Amino acid sequence: MITDKIENIDKYKSLSERIKKGIEFIQNTDLVNAKTGKYIIEGDNIYAGIDEYNTRSKDVSMPEIHKKYLDIQYIISGNELMGYAPFNNQKVVTEYNAEKDIAFLTGEVSFFDFKENHFAIFFPEELHMPCISKDQSSPIKKVVVKVLIE
């Protein structure tokens, strides 16, 4: 996992050409005014989803993992808690769905404050638990860029 302020995102463009294109989508799109929905960047190789939601209790959430795609998550507005843990044979609750590239697991995660104008990159098989309330439910606008691992 990588997490940083948006002003430092250029440092991570060298990770791969696809990650660079995902980062450039974040940098070159008017995300504040963008409508929710799916945005195709490079076919099934790179695409983004913009979503607006209210954070929820960690009691009703589970960590998730992906196998084919990494996530570049960027908080456009709002503030949430994000759970994170390396994969270490945690118990699978919902079997891996290849079409959606997701599985849900149980297990302990460490939480960090995921603030507006911050981003995180989650590599495949890194558990993450997004959308968590700090004290009470609050509105969030976020983009998640999905990057197929080469």
Band of pLDDT at residue 89, cut at 50, 70 and 90: confident
| CATH number of residue 105's parent domain | 2.60.120.370
Q: Which residue has the tokens 């954070």?
A: 55
Q: Which residue has the tokens 């060298």?
A: 14
Range of the domain at 82: 2-148
The full DSSP string for 85-120 is EE-SSPPEEEEEETTTTEEEE-S--EEEEEETTEEE
Closest CA to 132 of 90, 83, 72, 84: 83
Closest CA to 6 of 24, 124, 141: 24
Band of pLDDT at residue 94, cut at 50, 70 and 90: very high
Closest CA to 5 of 80, 122, 115, 82: 115
Q: Mean pLDDT of all residues in the chain?
A: 96
What pTM was estimated for this model as a whole? 0.95
pLDDT per residue over 28-83, tens digit each? 999 999 999 999 999 999 999 999 999 999 999 999 999 999 999 999 999 999 99
Contact 120, 37 (CB under 8 A): no
Phi, psi of 120 (to 5 degrees): -140, 145
pLDDT of 23 > 90? The answer is yes
CA pair distance 23, 112, nearest whole angstrom: 22
* The total number of structural domains that make up the chain: 1
Q: What is the mean pLDDT of residues 89-112?
A: 95
